[in-house]
Structure 1
């Protein structure tokens, strides 16, 4: 599935099912004049439906299994976070759950929330278990770590300015580290993007 959001006087979502349909489906969300501050990002396919974050981390829902679609505005409001007002929000599927990562502007605070499907509320979680998250400005994904040492961490397309090693955030220690280096730090100061622009791509292991 390929998804794109556009705005030409109104918000629209275009969906193309690769190798299944010859054309794109178009669905009208709302007029920009009705809510000029609204924006959609990080479309995520979960349980045959399409979810997307808007503005402050709220969640919208589109039923893509329906020929006419069904858009449910504000399925869940944004979670209560201590990261402050200037934050970045990321939505992804992790096993059988939807996760949202909230980060402050330079990474000094990181919080992970999971969606409670029964109450459509976000619950803060302290551990990813055997999974790892990969985040950048254009994409994010969660997958089972291929080695135990990689689990319960959030990886970024950043390297430390001194040792040029990949930067990750450990949910266990609540600090940033680089691979094979014991020294830790509290935010992105002293780091830089390895390559810019950049995107994470989930590989096929079969």
Structure 2
């Protein structure tokens, strides 16, 4: 008499089949997949969702094929092998004698089709590519915003306003100011109205968020120690974008790290 056939449960599905199933699921469903059982959790590889908090373009050398992003949430730099031609168009027109040096604290900001840079004294320099030969022009207004500060970060808000974060020498944000374009003067912003402001790198951005712990806050990168660099691919799966390390080690106990789900 042949021995009875032992039924195989969901927890005994082959790893290759589980990986194929997982590859068809959105990133946000992976934690639930991993929680099914220990065997299933070992199939889920480490990834870093880009949708939890904004990821800022950190630094990259011109001509390099590697693009770097800094995430304030993970305090990590994600480095992706990329093709510059996908993101940039290079111009052969280079002004021989620029009149304004770029600020070491902030990138130029494109606002209403013009390129703006903020000077230490609160003045704005503006560049119009239709008048390329004239280079940057320093505007008569606005002038000093009236606050003492050491560093400054210029950015365009999510509502299209030209704004700046003013910071003291200890790295603490002092004020956020907005340009009143009707009178061309800086005005102090009293409330972020539920938004989160990410700054302290060459890119500054303001976003509306439902995450309560970052609402109405100015978030600086924790650069008291240099963040780890993660070599990864930037993967878009059904509208969810995540950084996937090129080589991931599966945890021996099948645990899923909180910040990777």
Report the TM-score, using the length of structure 1 for normalisation.
0.57
- Of 74, 82, 93, 1:25 maps to 93
How do 1:1-206 and structure 2 match up within 5 A?
A: 23-27=91-95, 30=98, 39-41=101-103, 42-64=107-129, 66=130, 68=132, 71-74=136-139, 75-83=141-149, 87-94=150-157, 95-108=159-172, 110-158=174-222, 192-193=224-225, 195=227
3-state SS of paired residue (1:92): strand
Larger strand fraction of residues: 1
Q: 1:21 to 1:144 in 2, by over 3 A?
A: same
Can you list the C-alpha shifts for 1:73-94, whole angstroms capped at 9, x where unaligned? Answer: 13522311044xxx11110000
Can you list the C-alpha shifts for 1:69-112, whole angstroms capped at 9, x where unaligned? Answer: 654313522311044xxx11110000220111111100356111
> Where do 5+ consecutive residues of structure 1 fail to align?
1-16, 32-37, 160-191, 198-203
- Distance in 2, matches of 1:116 and 1:139, equals 22
Q: Is the contact between residue 197 and residue 205 of structure 2 (CA under 8 Å) also seen in structure 1? A: yes
Q: 1:47 to 1:69 in 2, by over 3 A?
A: farther
- Distance in 2, matches of 1:20 and 1:109, equals 32
Can you list the C-alpha shifts for 1:108-135, whole angstroms capped at 9, x where unaligned? Answer: 5611100000111100111111322111
Q: 1:69 to 1:50 in 2, by over 3 A?
A: farther
Q: Which of the pair has the greater relative contact order for Cα pairs under 8 Å at 6+ separation?
A: 2
Q: Is the contact between residue 100 and residue 112 of structure 1 (CA under 8 Å) also seen in structure 2? A: yes
Larger helix fraction of residues: 2
Q: Structure 1 stretches (4+) deviating beyond 3 angstroms? A: 17-22, 27-31, 67-71
The aligned counterpart of 1:165 is none
Q: Is the contact between residue 131 and residue 145 of structure 1 (CA under 8 Å) also seen in structure 2? A: yes
Q: CA deviation at 1:61?
A: 1.0
Q: CA deviation at 1:196?
A: 8.1
How many residue pairs end up in the alignment?
Answer: 143
> Where do 5+ consecutive residues of structure 2 fail to align?
1-84, 230-235, 241-261
